[in-house]
Amino acid sequence: MRRTRLQVIAAGVAATAFVFVLGGPRLAASAADKPIVIGASISETGAYADSGKLALQGYQLWVKQQNATGGLLGRQIELKTYDDASDPATAVRLYQRLIDQDHVDLIVGPYSSAVTASVANVAQQHHMPMISPEVASTAPFQRGFTEIFQGIQIAADYVEGPMAIAKEKGFKTIAVTGEDTLFPRSVVSGVDDLAKKMGMTIVFNQLYPHNASDYSSIVEKMKQSNPDIVLAASYLPDSVGLLRAMKQANFAPKLVYEGVGPTELSFGTQNGKDADGVMGTGNWSAELKTQGNATFVKAFESTFGHPPDYHAASNYAALEVLGEAVKRVGSLDSAKLRDQLATLTMPTVMGTYKVDPKTGIQQGYKSLVLQWVNGKQFVVHPKSLAQQPPALPFPSWSTR
């Protein structure tokens, strides 16, 4: 037994010595030689893994490019990320760990609205400014926080585009639907006021629950209300379900808008010719003529072997903004950085970054209306960014 104890002590001494040998010089080195560490949690596993991965790659690409051109403030940059498995409570713990234990120099936002809303508390408590590229809901910004900044278009703006297009064409009646959860509800929250302002009438307004699988009844009801436009605040699965039910009911209104579902490329593969004419709201497009966008797309493809999506772009843009703020401040002073992020106006791959200095709500980035035409997505609104004018009316089912 004694021998074992001796061995343990010897091992302990050796281990301590080892740590000193390795860690000693590092502790002694000056701060200027150390990389600037940027911390974040990302949903790398769980149901959101696919989009989370692209979001992370957006961060990674900026860090890689920036390091190749000399880093930031003369120091290299290191990205420290943990996997939050899409769980808000886990993300809160991870950000606490990044700040308290890992002593990261800067933080950036996680993936998804729900996770960001929880993490905002941590950023606020520690006075660490955080730009969040994955939160379209404005709710987290209306709680009096001073440290968080929205790095993506706000959800309530989404329906403005299709409604403006409809008004121009003289369409009058609207059927509103969508998934009965937080994000889609905030998308349709402004429809009533907008319709009044634009002189249009809402003839149907009913949401369906999350995980609904059969849309034939709700589509039958919409059809009976005979609207010019269908505005659905839907994700991918319900966008596909609704569209298919519309085809099966032979219901083709003059304009069909389906929230964020049509922005995903698999909307095209899952619907084939039926996708033609459908509009959706996008935050970004590879074709967009924003500053540095073409270079970003090329560099992303050559680094990761696949094209970027809007998650990658908004996360990349967030670090563009953070990097610029650090450069202007000339240090990592969080109070000064906060003020800089609140007032900075600058071009990114997403458009012009500009937030409301009080709340941090995004004002510069404009959401885009995309439309599927002959199996491809095109930006059709706003006019300043449009690749082509909207193709309307929505083609009838028998002429495809």
Partner 1 sequence: MHAALIGQLTIDGLLVGGVYALSALGLNVIFGVMRIVNLAHGEFVIGAALLAAVLFERWHANLFVVLPLAFVLAFGLGALIQRAFLRRLPEDLASAETTSLLMTFGLSYFFVGAWLAFFSGNFRSVPYLTGAWTIGPFSIAQARLVAFVASGIIAVLLAMLLRYTALGRSIRATSQNLQGALACGVDVERVRTLSFALGTAIAAASGCLLILIFTVNPETGANVTLASFAVIALGGLGNYAGTLVGAAVIGLAVSFTGYFATAQVAQAAPYVLFILVLLVRPAGILGKSGA
Q: Where are the beta strands (DSSP E) in the chain?
A: 36-42, 77-83, 106-108, 130-132, 148-150, 173-178, 201-205, 229-233, 255-257, 279-282, 346-348, 351-353, 368-373, 376-381
Residue recorded with tokens 């937080």: 182
265 belongs to the binding site for partner 1 (CB under 8 A): no
Q: Are strands 130-132 and 148-150 parallel, antiparallel or unpaired?
A: parallel
Smallest separation (angstroms) from partner 1 to the CB of 210: 9
Strand partners, 204: 175
30: left (phi over 0), alpha (psi -120 to 50) or beta: beta
Nearest Cα residue to 227 out of 208, 205, 242: 205
CB 183 within 8 A of CB 136: yes
- Verify binding: residue 388, partner 1, rule CB under 8 A: no
CB of 386 to partner 1, least distance (A): 28
Q: Does 187 bind partner 1 (CB under 8 A)?
A: no
| Shortest Å, Cβ 396 to partner 1 | 12
Closest distance between partner 1 and the C-beta of residue 384, in Å?
33
Distance in Å, CB of 268 to partner 1, minimum:
10
For residues 184 and 390, which CB has a smaller minimum distance to partner 1 in the complex? 184
Work out which of 142, 206, 345, 388 binds partner 1, going by CB under 8 A.
Answer: 206
Q: Is 141 or 208 the residue whose CB approaches partner 1 more closely?
A: 208
Among 93, 126, 244, 354, binds partner 1 (CB under 8 A): 244
Residue linked to tokens 């990592």? 332
| Backbone phi and psi for residue 180, each to the nearest 5 degrees, phi listed first | -85, 60
209: contact with partner 1 by CB under 8 A: yes
Least distance (Å) between residue 338 CB and partner 1: 35
- Decide if residue 185 touches partner 1 (CB under 8 A): no
Smallest distance, Å, CB 184 to partner 1? 13
**Block residue for tokens 């609704």:** 242
> Per-residue x/- mask for partner 1, residues 19 to 58, rule CB under 8 A?
---------------------------xxxxx--------
- Residue 133 DSSP symbol: T
Closest CA to 44 of 74, 83, 18: 83
DSSP 8-state code for residue 99: H
Options 207, 231, 232, 368; binder of partner 1; rule CB under 8 A = 207
* Interaction site with partner 1 (CB under 8 A): 46-50, 180, 206-209, 211-214, 216-218, 220-221, 224, 236-238, 240-241, 244, 247-250, 266, 269-272, 274, 397
